[in-house]
Structure 1
């Protein structure tokens, strides 16, 4: 079942997997106001729909997302600086809603990347729980090339993913990185051939959708919290969420299946 959030984002739901497709292929899926609105709306729907157990984020056509819409930015150059500043603050707060939803939702989010991933496209990859990319993918933070600092949580996620020195290099120089480089750096989980990207993405998404999604949600909370907490707080959170997981039907199924030497059939409950 495919639904247009608006003409900028398509939502397809099949077998517990929701695929959100950024749909501006002639503009390399560049971010404009309508796409920002549609992306947060699509992610909200994925978060709220209990039938959705995993989410895939991809771009239409041959590219993932080439960052912000430069033509839209250009149209604002004649605006007074105060008006321009207000516009971009509102836009970026709207864009950041998507990042917050991706990190908050208990379901795993997979970025499936081919072609260009630039600017906010890289931010989306970094905010995803897992990322898989075709060998033709190219990653560049790129903000420095238009004289702005990054957004989309990339300054947070990048530093944690690659370390502060490498994050400085990636952000300040704006160089391009291949899928193989991105895998080595920890920006993505794996690089695959372009012809295998869809199959490998589906395989990963279906595996996650068939898993103990309630436990996945608690695992996401723990790993995200670990980026900004003390060991003692993390240990307490682990105890609470393990105990909560142990009350679920998935826990009982996992134990029973293990003892019965069979594959568990999780329901997310």
Structure 2
């Protein structure tokens, strides 16, 4: 299977599992990714860890797949491309809409749709050898998977344009300075770091994390008045949770909280 999902300790590990192809995405892999995200949405874990097997997170769309489409009639080409883009777009949107935090672990090349997929995560940790690359322009195509939405919001318009138009790679350290990743670690420390961070997230108050993620993501659009109204509604709702009661009691008793 090109995509592997394993659940343990309340954490779902979603793994891109085509290392021999540098985790490039063809139609079967795109559909498998979409279906895996649908499964996570149907039964959300406490945390999702998006990672890969092999030396590279993902080099993006499988150019060989596009080459095969180009050899067929134009209507078949358009249909094949549309099917691929629909699947990857649904997968990215589904990740952003999951109620739980999504942690991405990056290594090697993170290019094209690989970059778009990574940007759909809530938190990213990268290895020292990670390189982020827009890549779409190199094959004369425009982005999919939400890159045109995420990049200007995370980098600002002009930095996003520079990344897209100049197609220069961004190192892990540069990504850290830009705020795209939250940590940079040695290659052999990525899995342990990701596991520790995932366990930390899984131990937090679920309703509070769900509400914070939804408010912050929705707050990217709209005005302050609407954001304040959403905040009020979620705050009042979460205040009825057991985790909130435990958090208040633990703070007053000067002890660590034990969230359920």
**Cα distance in 2 between the residues matched to 1:34 and 1:266:** 39
Is the Cα–Cα contact under 8 Å of residues 141 and 170 in structure 1 kept in the other structure?
yes
| SS of equivalent to 2:64 | helix
**Cα distance in 1 between the residues matched to 2:183 and 2:211:** 24
| SS of equivalent to 2:150 | helix
Q: Which residue of 2 aligns with 1:9?
A: 3
Matched, 1:115 2:108: yes
Q: Mind listing any 5+ residue stretches in structure 2 that lack a counterpart?
A: none
Moved more, 191-200 or 20-29: 191-200
Per-residue CA distance 1:92-132 (angstroms, 9 max, x = gap): 11111111111111100011011111111111111100000
**Cα distance in 2 between the residues matched to 1:79 and 1:245:** 54
TM-score by length of 2: 0.97
Query: 1:145 Cα deviation (Å)?
Result: 0.0
Query: 1:70 Cα deviation (Å)?
Result: 0.8
Is the Cα–Cα contact under 8 Å of residues 111 and 124 in structure 1 kept in the other structure?
no
TM-score by length of 1: 0.94
Matched, 1:77 2:62: no
Matched, 1:36 2:30: yes
Q: Which residue of 1 aligns with 2:118?
A: 125
Query: 1:89 Cα deviation (Å)?
Result: 1.7
The ranges of structure 1 where at least 4 consecutive aligned residues each deviate by more than 4 angstroms after the TM superposition are: none
> How many residues are matched?
260
Q: Which residue of 1 aligns with 2:214?
A: 221
**Cα distance in 2 between the residues matched to 1:213 and 1:136:** 33
Q: Which residue of 1 aligns with 2:163?
A: 170
**Cα distance in 2 between the residues matched to 1:111 and 1:186:** 14
**Cα distance in 1 between the residues matched to 2:128 and 2:80:** 37
| SS of equivalent to 1:228 | coil
Root-mean-square deviation (Å): 1.1
Q: Mind listing any 5+ residue stretches in structure 1 that lack a counterpart?
A: 1-6
2:193 is aligned, of 196, 200, 209, to 200
Is the Cα–Cα contact under 8 Å of residues 47 and 107 in structure 1 kept in the other structure?
no
